[in-house]
Amino acid sequence: MNVSGSTILITGGTGSFGNRVATHLLKQSPAEIRIFSRDEKKQWEMQQAFPQFQYIVGDVREEACLEEAVTGVDLVFHAAALKHVPSCEKYPYEAYKTNVVGSQNVCRASKAAGVKTFVALSTDKAVKPLNAMGTSKAMMEKLVCSQNQNGGDTKFCCVRYGNVMGSRGSVIPLFKRQIENDEPITLTVPEMTRFLMTLDQSVGLVLHAMQHATGGEIFVRKAPASTIGKLAEAVCQKFSPKGIDHPIEVIGIRLGEKLHETLVNEYEMQRITEEELFYAIHPEYHVPDHRAEQPLGTEYTSNNTRQLESAADIKLLLDKMGEVEFYI
């Protein structure tokens, strides 16, 4: 899809992803970029850096306010979500209203407006979900990927990724704040593994989906992983004056957390196509003949992907991550 001359809507556009993808898209000469979110303070802050965007205050839970926002839009990036695991565990109905009902509202409004391509952002926690956030995101994927069964010209697809380094609410900014306050770094379980992806790589995944979607796919970018213990060690080496001697406190696994995350489960692996950097999970109603054959039971997890074993390897990704003050 040619972004030049297109009108783009980003829901949840004041978040980490919205900031970065808007920056990328701006270089491709779109006609207009619209930032839709419910937080006027974050919109004001973002407007200081990007006055050329159009800012729309609204909530995806309210379908009426979306109708005007999508009028004349060619491309929708749906990033609005409640994503903090403990908060969603405490208030699962709120997660449902934003992540499920809100997503359906955006889909319906986008289809009615004749949007060309719709890309929704999902998470590895949607695979075999253990918590309310993951369960709501799994339902969001089903809602989005089902849209192309019902006709219409809009291409609907999802992207699914793991931990985005430096994004708002993620663990690296937390570690940095604890170091700056001379507090111990708090770890859940040192052996816990998580995929590691920079924000630019997550944007690249979304742009890949935008260009390659035919309708109903979930796109996954292959990524390395590390244990939380190794990640904490690398963050201490890079940011703490005490280096690896910075104190660490193990607090135990939190409610709703997994020891390892899965990006593609064993059933989805039977309907994928594969490239060097990406998997495309095709919908059950449109599985291609040229799919990649995978042994039964094969999954793609943070425990069996390429592991970053040394703090030095992780520090290379931390360097690529860049500064995080834009996202905190």
Write down the pLDDT at residue 151.
81
Q: Is 242 a catalytic residue?
A: no
E strand or H helix at 313 = helix 311-321
Q: What letter represents residue 195's amino acid?
A: F
**CATH number, domain 7-161+199-221, options 3.40.140.10, 3.50.20.10, 3.40.50.720, 3.40.50.300:** 3.40.50.720
Contact 284, 271 (CB under 8 A): yes
Report the share of the chain in percent with pLDDT over 70: 97
Secondary structure E strands in 208-277: 218-221, 225-227, 248-250, 262-264, 272-274
Catalytic residue among 42, 111, 125, 230: 125
Contact 255, 188 (CB under 8 A): no
Task: Read off the pTM.
Answer: 0.92
Write down the pLDDT at residue 322.
58
pLDDT top residue among 70 and 198:
70
Average pLDDT, the chain: 92
Write down the pLDDT at residue 311.
83
**Residue pLDDT, tens place only, 128-154:** 999 999 999 999 999 999 999 988 899
Contact 71, 111 (CB under 8 A): no
pLDDT top residue among 67 and 168:
67
Write down the pLDDT at residue 326.
40
When pLDDT is averaged across residues 306-324 and rounded to a whole number, the result is: 81
Write down the pLDDT at residue 114.
96
